[in-house]
């Protein structure tokens, strides 16, 4: 029998997880045990939180956990967090994402905001120091697991004695710092740029781009959202971009590709119609560029996405309105 077998929600989520795999590997290479521990804490917290919430809402725990949406949220969240955070920050972000950003709205499919981004934004605002403390990249598992665990469970990297020895700036945060000191950017290009994008995170972005293209090819997501986001960033860069950093720095720096292919393509918190998707993606791209360049945070994907999430009901209505006009 050759039925076009329908993909279930869990199939979709598994495909997303598979597509995240290349990016995930690069992420682990860059962050070492810190990244692994973050992921583990996030996944475990997400599953427990989801199970408890569904239990309280008298739903079926088995069905809810096997749709894997909580795992996807946890991994997306962990991919944004710097390694060797104190364990409770990761847990807090995950709990917020699952409980307050998703389950209180009515669970899967009902949430207005992207859960992973909501969780990330919460801890980014609450713990700016911890969240901007990155290991010197790439870490590549040079620290032993026991050392990493002891840092995670004793207050995190920012409280660690080896703070100065271990930490370094990401390309975007370095760019941000330099911006504040109003140094001539072009002189410092070698410090923050890599082969074609931002230093180190270019590889991460490339890996997400590959995984994302696979999702488009498998028709898990449509091309509209990523293309519109990239167009948004590019438009901004053309209009207001200085000589440096250039477009590839923005596209292959920070969380741009993760955002374009995995964050805003979350169907629940994105608009439904393709027309509305184009608008949504474009303005997210615009906001990413603007907040990065002129805002007070080095990277901005989470805020851009959350701000645009607010507009989704309006975009949907607009789209409905256009579509429901008689076709003749």
Partner 1 sequence: MNILHLRDNRQRGLHWSKPRARPIETLPVPDTLYIPISHWQQTTAELLVTTGSTLYKGQPLTRSYNHNVIITHASSSGEVIDISDNRIAIKTDGRDEVSDELTKTTDSLSRQEITDIAHRNGLTGQGGAGFPLARKIASLPQQPQLLLVNAAECDPDIHCDDALIQAYAPLVVESVLTIAEACEIDRVVIGIENDKTRSIEQLQQAMARQTARQNIELVTIPSQYPSGAENILLQLCTSEQPGPHESLASAGILSMNIATCYAMGQAVFNGMPPISRITTVVTPDGRHRNFKLLTGTPVNHILDYVAYERPIASIEQEVPLHVTQGGRMMSEALDTQAVITQQSNCITISNTKGVQSSVPCIRCGACSDICPVRLMPQHLHKAATHFDAQQLDNLNVDRCIECRCCDVVCPSAIPLTAQFIQAKEHKHRQNNEQIAADLAKQRYDKRQRRLQKERSGKRRTSLKEKAAPATPQSRKDLIAQALKRSAKKKPNDAADNGSSH
Does the footprint of partner 1 cover residue 242 (CB under 8 A)?
A: no
Among residues 123 and 216, whose Cβ is nearest to partner 1?
A: 216
Alpha-carbon torsion (27, 33, 35, 36), positive or negative: positive
Does the footprint of partner 1 cover residue 323 (CB under 8 A)?
A: yes
Instruction: List alpha helices for the chain, DSSP H.
Output: 9-31, 33-56, 61-65, 69-80, 87-95, 115-126, 128-131, 145-152, 163-166, 171-180, 189-192, 201-217, 224-240, 247-251, 256-258, 274-294, 301-323
Q: Which of 267, 275, 295, 307 binds partner 1 (CB under 8 A)?
A: 267
Q: How far is the CB of 276 from partner 1 (least distance, A)?
A: 10
The gap between the terminal CA atoms of the chain, to the nearest Å, is 39
The torsion angles phi and psi of 208, rounded to 5 degrees, stand at -65, -35
Evaluate whether 55 touches 163 at the Cβ level (below 8 Å): no
Q: How far is the CB of 2 from partner 1 (least distance, A)?
A: 6
| Candidates 60-68, 112-120, 150-158, 301-309; binding stretch for partner 1 (CB under 8 A) | 60-68
| Candidates 19-27, 103-111, 137-145, 160-168; binding stretch for partner 1 (CB under 8 A) | 103-111
Contacts to partner 1 from residues 200-229, by CB under 8 A: 218-219, 222
Q: Which of 146, 181, 296, 327 binds partner 1 (CB under 8 A)?
A: 327
Q: Which of 25, 125, 186, 272 binds partner 1 (CB under 8 A)?
A: 272
Does the footprint of partner 1 cover residue 154 (CB under 8 A)?
A: no
The half-sphere exposure of 205 on its side-chain side, counting CA atoms within 13 A, is 24
User: What's the CA gap between 307 and 284, in Å, rounded?
Assistant: 8
**Sites of contact with partner 1 (CB under 8 A):** 1-9, 11-12, 15, 63-64, 67, 69, 106-110, 218-219, 222, 267-268, 270, 272-273, 316, 320, 323-324, 326-328
């Amino acid at each position: 029998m050759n039925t076009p077998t329908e993909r279930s929600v869990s199939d979709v989520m598994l495909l997303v997880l598979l597509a995240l795999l290349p990016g995930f590997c690069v992420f682990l290479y860059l962050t070492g045990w810190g990244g692994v521990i973050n992921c583990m804490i996030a996944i475990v917290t997400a599953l427990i939180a989801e199970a408890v919430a569904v239990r309280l809402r008298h739903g079926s725990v088995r069905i809810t956990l096997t749709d894997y949406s909580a795992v996807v949220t946890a991994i997306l969240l962990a991919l944004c967090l710097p390694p060797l955070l104190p364990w409770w920050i990761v847990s807090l972000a995950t709990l917020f994402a699952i409980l307050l950003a998703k389950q209180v709205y009515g669970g899967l499919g009902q949430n207005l905001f992207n859960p992973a981004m909501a969780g990330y934004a919460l801890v980014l605002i609450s713990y700016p120091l911890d969240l901007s403390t990155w290991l010197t990249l790439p870490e590549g598992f040079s620290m032993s697991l026991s050392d990493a665990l002891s840092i995670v469970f004793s207050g995190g990297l920012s409280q660690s004695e080896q703070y100065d020895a271990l930490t370094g700036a990401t390309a975007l945060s370095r760019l941000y710092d330099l911006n504040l000191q109003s140094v001539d950017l072009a002189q410092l290009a070698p410090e923050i740029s890599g082969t074609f994008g931002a230093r180190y995170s270019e590889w991460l972005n490339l890996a997400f781009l590959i995984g994302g293209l696979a999702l488009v090819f498998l028709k898990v997501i449509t091309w509209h959202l990523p293309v519109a986001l990239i167009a948004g960033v590019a438009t901004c860069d053309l209009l207001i971009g200085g000589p440096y950093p250039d477009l590839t720095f923005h596209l292959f720096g920070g969380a741009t590709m993760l955002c374009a292919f995995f964050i805003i393509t979350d169907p629940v918190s994105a608009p439904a119609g393709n027309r509305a998707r184009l608008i949504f993606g474009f303005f997210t791209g615009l906001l990413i560029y603007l907040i990065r360049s002129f805002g007070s945070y080095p990277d901005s994907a989470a805020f851009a996405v959350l701000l645009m999430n607010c507009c989704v009901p309006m975009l949907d209505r607009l789209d409905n309105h256009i579509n429901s006009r008689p076709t003749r």
